[in-house]
Amino acid sequence: MRLTGKRVIALVDDEFEDLELWYPVYRVREEGAEVVLAGSTAGATYTGKYGVPAVADRSWDELDAADYDGILVPGGWAPDKIRRYPAVLKLIRDFHEACKPIGQICHAGWVLISAKILKGVTVTSTPGIRDDMENAGAVWKDEPVVADGHIISARRPPDLPPYGKAFCDALAGSGES
């Protein structure tokens, strides 16, 4: 329970990749962290690509990065929607400026690209957005998980176990398990 007292935001919108939302959410909860699901509308139900629902506890507009210790951005097609909201981009930039853990997997890199925080950062993602990541100034690697400071990235669902561990390690403030 090394994450007891930590608070994490998990972003949601329709067509999130079900495993890429729920696996990290449950992983940080297992370690004691509180997770708040956040969407454009508090109380709204968002549906994953494979039909798993997620109800937003809060709206993006009512969140302040200062009140949380980390943020998770799932993949799927949701990141292409999520990145269009100024409140989300501000949250991502605020977490980045505070050097708080930002977890992103698969297509979630699109949100970090739109927040303009990837210049010089070493990351991974689904290979399908490699060019997007590199064009945003990131150094892209084809590895299961890449941690560059407080930005933790992974490629796809098979990488979830090491991604979950790396995000929890960052949230705990150590590389120990």
Strand partners, 140: 123
DSSP secondary structure letter of residue 44: -
- One-letter amino acid for residue 9 of the chain: I
| Rounded Cα distance, 153 and 106, in Å | 8
| Rounded Cα distance, 85 and 14, in Å | 14
| Rounded Cα distance, 137 and 56, in Å | 32
| Residue 150 appears among annotated catalytic residues | no
> Which residue among the candidates 107, 130, 155, 156 is catalytic per the annotation?
107
* Residues designated catalytic: 107
